[in-house]
Amino acid sequence: MTRIAAAVANDTVENPRAVIGSNRAPIDEQVVIDLAEALVAEGLTKRIDELLASFSRAPEITSPEIAGRYAEIIKQMVAAGKAVEAEREKLNRPLLTAQRALKGRADAITAPLKEAELTARARLKKFDDHIAELERQREAEAQRIAEQERQRLQAIADQEAQKERDRLQAIENERAAAEAREATVVEVQAETVEVAVEVTTNAGPIAQGDFGAKVSRTTTWKHEIISVRQLPDSILKHAKVIEAIDKVIAAQVRSGTREMKGVRIFAETGIAIR
């Protein structure tokens, strides 16, 4: 007993496919074979061959009788096509059901995982918002300090300019007195002081795990249409926009609209086989 079990175990280890059902054809090949067999069994393969052969013998339409025969063969072709589709659907249904069941099971397993992931992401976002708020406060503080420094330096520059103006004015006054003329007013502009704000921005990741996972801030640009009429032609005449407009207009024309500004509505005749 033990020996048999060991032998089975060894076979499976040597060849993982040596299990029950392993001699079946792969499912993608099997369904094609099944379809071909079903079509032969139902006589559809023969019927399609006959229809094609019959159509190859069809003459040009020169009378209402021949047109009627054409209508009949079209009906037969459509019926044959639908029958093939029905056979395909019959084989496809279990596969679709299996696919859905598989996905349902996998989703059921991963649903709590996804929920936990969303919670974790929300917490990280909250932390990132906190960091962003701190950065904003730090930047405001840096700007306030820079402004204070600028005002201090500007006051010094103003004082120096005033001293220079007084010195030059005294020289001008002496010259004017020697030359017996009225002294001109000396103008000395104080230098405008600018102080650069030094803000240290953290360009790297916000946080990093021990195994390499990183949290970084991303920026995505979003939009909102405020006025359709003001959009540029490159948008309004885009192929996809025209396609969407076409769908809306087609629905209205089907529902009875026969006049529309900027649209030519016309009747087109076709054929229908019943």
Partner 1 sequence: MTRPDLIYAAPGASPVTATGFDPDAPIPGYYRMRLRSGGVFVAIRIWFGQPRDPLTGDLMDRSLRWQATANGNPIDLDRVWPQCAADPIDEREARHLVSLQRWGRETGHAALADPTRKLNPLSTPLQF
In order of 32, 123, 226, 240, 249, the CA distances from 230 in angstroms are 55, 40, 9, 18, 21
Region near partner 1 per CB under 8 A, out of 43-51, 138-146, 204-212, 228-236: 43-51
Q: How far apart are CA 98 and CA 62, in angstroms?
A: 53
| Site for partner 1 contains 58 (CB under 8 A) | yes
Helices (H) and strands (E) in the chain, counts: 6, 2
Among 31, 34, 38, 69, binds partner 1 (CB under 8 A): 69
- Residue 215 pairs with which residues in a beta bridge? 207
Q: How far apart are CA 200 and CA 132, in angstroms?
A: 13
Nearer to partner 1, 31 or 73 (CB): 73
| Ramachandran sector of residue 22 (left: φ over 0; alpha: ψ -120 to 50; beta: rest) | alpha
| Site for partner 1 contains 70 (CB under 8 A) | yes
Binding mask 152-171 for partner 1 (x = CB under 8 A): --------------------
**CA-CA-CA-CA torsion sign (224, 225, 227, 232):** positive
Among 47, 88, 150, 165, binds partner 1 (CB under 8 A): 47
Number of residues that bind partner 1 (CB under 8 A): 20
| Site for partner 1 contains 127 (CB under 8 A) | no
Among 31, 35, 38, 73, binds partner 1 (CB under 8 A): 73
Among 31, 35, 76, 206, binds partner 1 (CB under 8 A): 76
Counting every residue written for the chain, the total comes to 274
Binding mask 83-122 for partner 1 (x = CB under 8 A): x---------------------------------------
Whose tokens are 């093939």? That residue is 84
| Site for partner 1 contains 38 (CB under 8 A) | no
- DSSP letter string over 104-147? HHHHHHHHHHHHHHHHHHHHHHHHHHHHHHHHHHHHHHHHHHHH
Please report how close the Cβ of residue 50 comes to partner 1 at its closest, in angstroms: 6
- Residue 36 pairs with which residues in a beta bridge? none
Among 9, 32, 55, 167, binds partner 1 (CB under 8 A): 55
Nearer to partner 1, 53 or 108 (CB): 53
List interacting residues with partner 1 (CB under 8 A).
43-44, 47, 50-51, 54-55, 57-59, 69-70, 72-73, 75-76, 78-80, 83
